[in-house]
Each structure stands twice: as C-alpha cells, then as structure tokens.
C-alpha cells in the first residue's frame, strides 16, 4: 500500500463507499515548547477551516508525552494515544488519511505512530492542506467512536543505544537541517552536532517547492547516494522524532523500510556522557 495519497485520490475515496477517517495534525516547531518561541495554535487553524469531517489531533498532547530526559516529543502513553484515535473515529478496519498545514511533519508523526502501533491502512495527504482544492468547513464533527487499540510494535523503533549501534553497522540518517547537523547552530537543544557515524540527510530535500514528495525513483536515488542499500538496516533521527518521521515516510515512498529514533537529538544531547560529532562528515 502506498504511504501517501494525492488530493484528487482522496476526493474520490471520500465520495466512495468506504471513506477514510480524516485526521488534522497541524503543527509547527514553535509548538515544541522551546523557550522564547511564539506558540502556533494548530487547533485555531483547524477551527478556521479544515477538510470536511476531519478531526483535530494535538501532536504535543496526544502524539507525544511530556518533554524530559527522553526528548522533547517522547512516545505517548499508548492509552492516551488510543483514546485520542478512538475519539477521532479510528477503527482497525477503517482507512485513515492524515494531513497537516503542508510541511508534512505533523502528519508523518501521526502516520508513523499509527503504523507502528498496528493500524494496517494509514496514508498522508501529499502536500497537506494546500493541495486540497475542495471545500473546507468550520463545524467540529462528532464521529462515532472507533475501536482501534494500539499495540507497541516489535520493530521500527530505536533507542539511543540502538541508534548508536545502527550508525556503526548500517545507515543512520539525520533529518535535521545541515547547519544543525554540523553543529554550526543549535536553537533548541543543549548542544549542536550529530550522533557519531550519522549521515546528514535533511528531510526538506525529499519534497519539491509545492511540499509534495519527489517521485519514488528520485527519492530512491537520493537515498542510494547517501549510502542506503538493501544490505544494511536504515534508521532516522531528527530533533525530537517529528521531522524524522517525515524522512521515514519518504523512505517508505521509495520502498525502503526504516526505523525511527523517537528520542532523537533532544534525548541524545541531554546526556553529557554521550559522544557528539561536529562538522560535515559522519565521524
């Protein structure tokens, strides 16, 4: 199953016999509780206009736990996550389409969590809300409660030790901006730089100017150029496990399975005993 869906395909499915549940996960980095950043109100944006029938999901409150030593967006309590999904009408046998304001990061976080916890049919609207040419609504729907019960996956998740090991034995991609990887700037976390052995692979380079993903063949070529192959496992991290989920999604579009280090740099850099590499090279 494709991990993304176009706006035209979504319009067709919404008019069909088994329309997908729609989740609106509008989020920006300013919602990450970083000191000094003005808050972005995703719920207000949702109330101003959303896809018909879509339910708002709060990334900070429902797709993550409180920030701490495990990172700025650690895994949510599965009971909290499950309750949020059922409130939104998500059932195990019903397809789900997730979208955000266009960057794709918030939607990808929801996509990854649903897939990792066992939902078999979830896709991201390619290009997000800006790609939608149909009507919007301001009414808040009250869908019938769903039955989805999330279960922690047995694969696809890395912790700090696993990320370090994968950087040595496979390919660990750093989805952040290049200047953060190199340690030239670090606006949020305690220290700049990257996990030793990780390869710089900004997830912003996986999309075109319109926010839609590059074709699968181009994505595959890009990742191959970064050292990804069928012979070694692939992992991804970012600042706090959000933009990294977007890179995992790009890899899925290219047909490449990858694990996500959810704690990411915000967890790694919180421990002064963990090594830090700086500069343009992995080591």
**DSSP run (H or E) holding 260:** strand 259-261
**Cα torsion angle, 167, 243, 238, 264, sign:** negative
Catalytic choice (25, 108, 167, 238) = 238
Distance between CA atoms of residues 257 and 173, nearest Å: 13
Residue 238 annotated to the active site: yes
Q: Which of 216, 215, 239 is nearest to 33 (CA)?
A: 239
Q: Exposed (0-12), middle (13-18) or buried (19+): which is 169, by Cβ within 10 Å?
A: exposed
Rounded distance between C-alpha atoms, residue 120 and residue 98, angstroms: 14
Q: Would you state the structure tokens that stand for residue 213, as one six-digit string? A: 């993903």
What three-state secondary structure class fits 207? strand
Give catalytic residues, as residue numbers. 238
């Amino acid at each position: 199953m494709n991990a993304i869906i176009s706006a035209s395909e979504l319009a067709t499915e919404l008019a069909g016999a088994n329309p997908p549940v729609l989740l609106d996960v509008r989020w920006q980095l300013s919602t990450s509780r970083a000191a000094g950043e003005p808050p972005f109100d995703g719920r207000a944006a949702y109330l101003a206009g959303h896809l018909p029938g879509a339910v708002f999901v709060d990334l900070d409150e429902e797709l993550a736990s409180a920030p701490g030593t495990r990172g700025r967006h650690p895994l949510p309590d599965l009971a909290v996550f499950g309750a949020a999904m059922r409130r939104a009408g998500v059932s195990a046998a019903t397809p789900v389409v997730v979208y955000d304001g266009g960057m794709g990061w918030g939607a990808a976080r929801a996509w990854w969590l649903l897939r990792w916890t066992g939902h078999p049919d979830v896709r991201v609207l390619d290009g997000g809300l800006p790609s939608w040419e149909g009507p919007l609504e301001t009414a808040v729907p009250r869908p019938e409660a769903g039955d989805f019960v999330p279960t922690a996956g047995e694969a696809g998740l890395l912790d700090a030790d696993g990320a370090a090991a994968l950087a040595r034995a496979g390919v660990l991609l750093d989805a952040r901006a290049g200047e953060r990887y190199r340690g030239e700037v670090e606006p949020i976390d305690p220290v700049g730089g990257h996990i030793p052995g990780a390869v710089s692979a900004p997830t912003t380079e996986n999309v075109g100017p319109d926010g839609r993903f590059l074709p699968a063949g181009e994505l595959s070529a890009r990742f191959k150029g970064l050292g990804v192959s069928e012979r070694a496992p692939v992992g991804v991290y970012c600042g706090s496990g959000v933009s990294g989920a977007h890179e995992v999604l790009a890899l899925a579009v290219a047909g490449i399975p990858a694990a996500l280090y959810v704690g990411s740099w915000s967890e790694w850099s919180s421990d002064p005993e963990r090594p830090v590499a700086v500069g343009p090279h992995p080591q």
